[in-house]
Amino acid sequence: MTDKKNRVFGSEDGIYTDFKEKMTYGDYLQLDTLLTSQKRLSDHHDEMLFIIIHQVSELWLKLIIHEIQAAITSIQQGNFQASFKMLARVSKTQSQIIQAWDVLSTLTPAEYMEFRESLGNASGFQSYQYRLVEFVLGYKTPYILKIYENDPQFHQTLEKAYHAPGLYDVAIQALADHGLSINTDILQRDFSKSYEKDTSVEQAWLTVYQNTNKYWELYQLAEKLVDIEDWFQQWRFRHMKTVERIIGFKTGTGGSSGVHYLKKVLEHYFFPELWEIRSKI
């Protein structure tokens, strides 16, 4: 028996081979469900690529949401070091999503057009998790909620995040908690509205950057936010260029203006003051 095992596993005599009553790797990850969720609607070879890229991206988005929401709680509790670890993980995860566009860009326009009609009106524009990422970062758009009115569970989760403070909101509160002067209207604002830049917030961040030793944790937090925004903009840019490469300036399957819409959102900033102060430090 030992000789037989050694021929298969070398010197790894302790490897388990009997899983009649034990949980396997596949059981733990529910691979039977995960690996049978790629259901092509056409016979085209490249539709498998299209499905997997988007499914993998949704898994990474799930992790990003998980980490940002935990970071928000940590910042509210004053546990900055824990939040830094979570936000650093978000940035690393974002880099993985960006690289996914390089794989999708191997799909040519001619190949995509052979199965595009099978998608109907399904579009990444409708990604529930992508919108949730925007909400937890503080970018709130009311029309997005209407897309999910037919799904009570998704709608409830999005609506909760829509009215809750985002990552930047708790960062601004942290500035105030450290004695920096913040406009009361900003601290007490309606969190269901997208944040708009404020001079008191800009001055507070400028003070932090000019006194990094005194406000070291706030300085670290600011740089973590800049990392996330930087990666997010790179993701948006790669998304836009990949779409342009594959479908040009056609209308998106979900009815959006496609590349035109993606170019427009490139102009949006989640944390505007953190970028503007760089010219004033």
| pLDDT tens by residue, 201-243 | 999 999 999 999 999 999 999 999 999 999 999 999 999 999 9
Annotated binding site for substrate: 50-54, 112, 116, 253
Residue whose tokens read 């604002």: 189
- Euclidean distance between CA atoms 202 and 222, whole angstroms: 12
Q: What is the mean pLDDT of residues 126-134?
A: 92
| Cβ-based neighbours of 115, under 8 Å, separated by 6 or more | 40, 41, 42, 44, 46, 47, 50
- Euclidean distance between CA atoms 255 and 253, whole angstroms: 6
Q: What is the mean pLDDT of residues 25-44?
A: 96
pLDDT of residue 9: 53
- Euclidean distance between CA atoms 238 and 260, whole angstroms: 14
Task: State the amino acid at position 203 in one-letter form.
Answer: Q
Q: What is the mean pLDDT of residues 131-136?
A: 95
Q: Are 114 and 248 in contact (CB under 8 A)?
A: no
pLDDT of residue 2: 47
Residue environment code for 243-256, b if the CB has 16+ CB neighbours within 10 A, otherwise e? beebbeeeebbbee
Q: Are 138 and 194 in contact (CB under 8 A)?
A: yes
Confidence of residue 10 (pLDDT cuts 50, 70, 90): low
pLDDT of residue 213: 97
- Euclidean distance between CA atoms 209 and 212, whole angstroms: 5
List the helix and strand counts (H, then E) for the chain.
15, 0
| pLDDT tens by residue, 142-192 | 888 888 888 899 999 999 999 999 999 999 999 999 999 999 999 999 999
pLDDT of 256 higher than 90 = no
pLDDT of residue 123: 81
Residue 224's nearest CA partner among 56, 57, 67, 61 is: 67
pLDDT of residue 141: 85
pLDDT of residue 5: 47
In this structure, CATH architecture of domain 44-279? Up-down Bundle (1.20)
Residue 67's nearest CA partner among 231, 215, 205 is: 231
Q: Are 115 and 44 in contact (CB under 8 A)?
A: yes
Neighbours of 67 (CB within 10 A): 21
pLDDT of residue 126: 84
pLDDT of 4 higher than 80 = no
| pLDDT tens by residue, 11-23 | 677 777 777 778 9
| pLDDT tens by residue, 38-78 | 999 999 999 999 999 999 999 999 999 999 999 999 999 99
Q: Are 219 and 205 in contact (CB under 8 A)?
A: no
Annotated binding site: 50-54, 112, 116, 239, 253
Annotated binding site for heme: 239
Confidence of residue 114 (pLDDT cuts 50, 70, 90): very high
User: Terminus-to-terminus CA distance in the chain, angstroms?
Assistant: 71
pLDDT of residue 262: 87
